[in-house]
Amino acid sequence: MLRWRRPVILAGYLCYAMVLFALFTYLKFPSQQVRAFVLTALSQHGLEHIRIGSVQPLLPAGLTFSEVSMTHTVNGQPLELVRMPELQVQLRTLRPFANLRRLGFEGGLYGGMVLGAVEWEQNGKGPLLGINVALQDIRPAAHPLATKLGNTTVEGKLASHLTLQLANGRWQDGHGRLSIQGEAGSIVGLDIGGVQLPSLSYEQLAGELTLQQRRVVVKDFQIRGHDWQVDIQGNVNLNERLQQSPIDLTIRVRTSEALEQQLGLVGMFLKQRRDRRGFTALKISGTLEHPNPVL
């Protein structure tokens, strides 16, 4: 009878020690130091606008970041681009003596989820960093930018996939790809030049952007409804000050005659300038901060 009691007692002591270790780790965790270290590491890759509220340990081997946000200054005012109430980061792979390290992360984002992984490898010349992110069921109407659109609302859900590779540089110097897919939705309350447009339902939303040699290329971005379609192509040459980056975009719009009549003056403009395929082209130059439409 004593034979089985000893293993049970040893197991009990082991569990007790693990609980004490976990409690000690949580209570003595250097939250502020870890937070400062993470923010410094992010700023080295051009992500100095990220803010983190607090950091707590996540067992067995991870961290929980609270109130994570990324802002950008436009005309002297901070503009929130991303906010996550909580982001969990877990060490997924750690092979002894291996150069490859991998962190997985997940969190809630605007009614949906963000899932991804960060991998880095030391190859003797410098660390190679790879980022892979998937967004699921994102609701554009929940984004802070929606409040700056006045009465305009975008209904529907979006999904996207982002890959980015960095080598001893800022994100602008990396290579990456972003794809976007959207479910059926609608744009309600859009105002152009004082003209209130009717509700625009769309059946398809898809886009692909690439990053290479400090240049973002909009290979194709399309949103299409039953009687209208918008295509966007072009590029943005990235400057150190992002808002001063030159842009060269072409927007092509197609509408049915019935919709043109509902659009009033906007519809008349589109009808007068459309080509043989029924599209009206609009060029946008200038910078991200001061775009300049060219008719």
C-alpha span between 279 and 295 (Å, rounded):
13
pLDDT of 185 strictly over 80 = yes
Higher-scoring residue by pLDDT: 180, 100? 180
Q: Dump pLDDT digits (tens) for 272-293.
A: 888 888 888 889 999 888 888 8
C-alpha span between 67 and 223 (Å, rounded):
32
Amino acid at 266: V
Specify the pTM: 0.75
Higher-scoring residue by pLDDT: 17, 183? 183
Task: For residue 90, give both structure tokens.
Answer: 């877990």
pLDDT of 167 strictly over 90 = no
C-alpha span between 204 and 181 (Å, rounded):
8
C-alpha span between 273 and 192 (Å, rounded):
17
Higher-scoring residue by pLDDT: 24, 135? 135
**DSSP H/E element including 258:** helix 257-263
pLDDT of 99 strictly over 80 = no
Higher-scoring residue by pLDDT: 35, 164? 164
Quick check: 142 and 111 in contact, CB under 8 A? yes
Query: Which pLDDT band, with edges at 50, 70 and 90, does 18 fall under?
Result: low
CA distances from 37 to 63, 92, 128, 172 (A): 13, 20, 19, 22
C-alpha span between 46 and 240 (Å, rounded):
9
